[in-house]
Structure 1
Amino acid sequence: MGFSIIGHPFYLISPTLISLTTLAFLSCSSVVRTSTASDYTNLVYQGCAKQTFLDSSSVHSQTLSTLFDSLVSQSSKSNFFKTSSSGDQASISALFQCRRDLSFGDCNCVSKLPNMLNSLCENTISGRIQLSGCYIPYEQNGSPQVSNFDLLHKTCSATQAEGSGYEERRDAAFAALKKGMVSGYGFYTTIYESVYVLGQCEGDLSIGDCGECVKSAVQIAQMECRSSSSGQIYLH
C-alpha cells in the first residue's frame, strides 16, 4: 500500500499504495506524487532474496519466463493478476499490480519488469521490482514468509513543510485515507487542504487486513517522516 502528500504529497502503498507488498509481495503502500505518465516506469526499489534455487536453474528460468509472459499478457486487461506454476519442484507464485488510477495503457509498465527481475535477481528464490506505477513480486512456494506488515521500503523527503499546522493537516488527510480505503475497497486518493494522499492495497487483500496495513503505514509515516513535505511507505 502507499501514500503520498502533494503540495505536500504522501503515499502509503501492497505489491503496492501506502504502497506495499519477503521481498516478494507488496500489500499496501503510500507515495507522494506530482508525476506524469512518463514517471510510471521510474524505479522505486528492488529486492532479491539471498537464497538461490537449489536444483536446475534452467527449470526455474523457464517456469519464471512462462509466469512473466502470463503477467504481461494480463496487464492489458487488468490492474491486478496473480498466478502460479504447477506443483513441482519449480513451483513459483507471481503477481503484478498497477496503480488503480492508471489506464491499461499506462499499466504496460509491467512489460519492463521481467527483464529487470531476470537481470537483478538471477536464480534467486524470490524477488520484487517496484516502479512508480506498477510492481511484480515472485517467490518459490514454500519459501520463508514474512509478516504482512513488514516494512519493505521507506522514503521521507529532506525538504520540510513550511508554515504552521502542516502536521495537523497531514494527519487529517491520513484519517480520511484510512476511512476512504474501506469504502474504496483497497484504493483511495484525496487532497485535504493542499495535502495529497494516495493508498492502495494488494488486490486480493481483505478489507480488514487492508485497514490494518494502512494504519501501520500511517504510523510509520508519522513517526519517521514527521514534518517532511513528502514520503512513501511500502509494506509487505
Structure 2
Amino acid sequence: MAHQHHVVLLAVMIIMLSAMADTDSFIFGGCSQVKFMPGSPYENTVNSLLTSLINSATFTNYNNFTIQPTPSSSSTVYGLYQCRGDLSNDRCSRCVERAVSQLGTLCLDACGGALQLDGCFVKYDNVSFLGVEDKTAVMKKCGPSIGLTSDAMTRRDEVLAYLETSDGSTYKTYRTSGSGNARGVAQCTGDLSPSECQDCLSDAIQRLKMECGASTWGDMYLAKCYARYSEGGRYSRNSNDDSNHNDDEIEKTLAILIGLIAGVALIIVFLSFLSKVCEKHKGGK
C-alpha cells in the first residue's frame, strides 16, 4: 500500500503545481550594478525589508516599506510589492515569497533589484523610487503575427480602449476587460497617483498596439505598469469569480483523482485476496 500512497501524493503535487504555474511564471528581473559586502549591516536591512514584504502580502495585495538608517547602517532601503489584483491573500503571499526567493538568487549581493512574476512584482533599492513614475520599457512579447481579422482587431481595440479608460470615481490600479474572444488586463503599482497610473497605462497600451500590431496576443511591461491582451482567452482568469471557479475546479479534479486512485487500490487488494484464496483452494486439493 506504500506505493499507492506515493501515487496519491504525486497526484496532489501535480495539481498544486499546475494551480501555481500561472502566478509563478517568470516575466523579467533586473539588479543594480552596485554591490554590498556579504554580512554587512546593509544585508541585514535588505533581509528585514524583504521579510516585511512577505509578511504584509498575507493581508493585502500591495504595500511599500522604508527601512530607516540605524547606528550600524547608514543606508535607507526602500521596497514594495504588488500582486495581481485578482489574487487571494494566500496566493499573493506565496507569489511574493517565491519572488523574494528568486531575487535572492538573481540579485545576490546587489544593493537593488526588481523581479516580476506573472502574479506579483517585487522591488527594492537604496535609492528612493516610491511614488516616482517610471515608464521605462522593461519587457515586450508579441504572439504570432498571423494577422487578426478585422472583427478580431476591432475587439482587441475595444478591450485596450476600455483598459485605458479612466473614471475618477471608480479608479482602479488593476483593470480587466473582454469583448468576444478578446481579453485584456492592465495594472499599475500602488505607489502611483491616479494621474500617474493613467499616464503609464496609456503609454503601455499605445506601445502595445504599435509594436505588436496584428499579433494574436501581446504583453507590454513598463517599470511601474503593464498591459496585456489576447485573442482566444489567454488571460481568461482575470477576476475573483474566475479565480474561485478555477480553485473549485482544481478541488473537484483532485477529489476525482483521489477517488480513482483509491478505487484502483481497492481493486488491487481485492484481486490479491482472490489470488490467495485460489492458491489455498488449490493447495487444499
Structure 1 residue 228 corresponds to structure 2 residue 211 = no
State the number of aligned residues: 200
Counterpart-to-counterpart distance in 1, 2:210 and 2:39: 43
How do 1:7-18 and structure 2 match up within 5 A? none
How do 1:1-236 and structure 2 match up within 5 A? 37-53=20-36, 58-87=40-69, 88-107=73-92, 108-141=94-127, 148-179=134-165, 183-236=170-223
Residues 151 and 160 (structure 1 numbering): CA distance in 2 closer, same or farther, change over 3 Å? same
Shift in Å at residue 210 of structure 1? 0.9
Shift in Å at residue 193 of structure 1? 2.4
Counterpart-to-counterpart distance in 2, 1:167 and 1:184: 27
Counterpart-to-counterpart distance in 2, 1:128 and 1:181: 30
Shift in Å at residue 142 of structure 1? 5.6
Three-state SS of the structure 2 residue aligned to 1:119 is: helix
Say whether the 8 Å CA contact 1:117–1:127 is kept in structure 2.
yes
Say whether the 8 Å CA contact 2:171–2:194 is kept in structure 1.
no
**Corresponding residue for 2:5?**
none
Q: Greater share of strand residues, 1 or 2?
A: 1
CA-based RMSD: 2.3
Greater gyration radius: 2
Shift in Å at residue 36 of structure 1? 5.3
Shift in Å at residue 184 of structure 1? 3.9
Shift in Å at residue 151 of structure 1? 0.8
Shift in Å at residue 163 of structure 1? 2.8
Say whether the 8 Å CA contact 2:148–2:215 is kept in structure 1.
no
Residues 121 and 162 (structure 1 numbering): CA distance in 2 closer, same or farther, change over 3 Å? same
Residues 198 and 180 (structure 1 numbering): CA distance in 2 closer, same or farther, change over 3 Å? farther
Counterpart-to-counterpart distance in 2, 1:136 and 1:181: 27
Deviation per CA, 1:179-236, whole angstroms, max 9, x where unpaired?
1575342221011122101111111211111111111001110111001111111112
Counterpart-to-counterpart distance in 2, 1:229 and 1:59: 49
Question: Gapped runs of 5+ residues in structure 1?
Answer: 1-34
Counterpart-to-counterpart distance in 2, 1:117 and 1:148: 20
Question: Gapped runs of 5+ residues in structure 2?
Answer: 1-17, 224-285
- Identity across matched positions, percent: 29
- Structure 1, 118-127 or 213-222: larger mean CA deviation: 118-127
Shift in Å at residue 37 of structure 1? 4.3
TM-score, structure 2 as length reference:
0.64
Residues 78 and 214 (structure 1 numbering): CA distance in 2 closer, same or farther, change over 3 Å? same
Three-state SS of the structure 2 residue aligned to 1:153 is: strand
User: Relative contact order (C-alpha < 8 Å, sep 6+): which is higher?
Assistant: 1
Q: 2:193 is matched by which residue type in structure 1?
A: S
Residues 102 and 114 (structure 1 numbering): CA distance in 2 closer, same or farther, change over 3 Å? same
Counterpart-to-counterpart distance in 1, 2:148 and 2:23: 28
Shift in Å at residue 171 of structure 1? 1.4
TM-score, structure 1 as length reference:
0.77
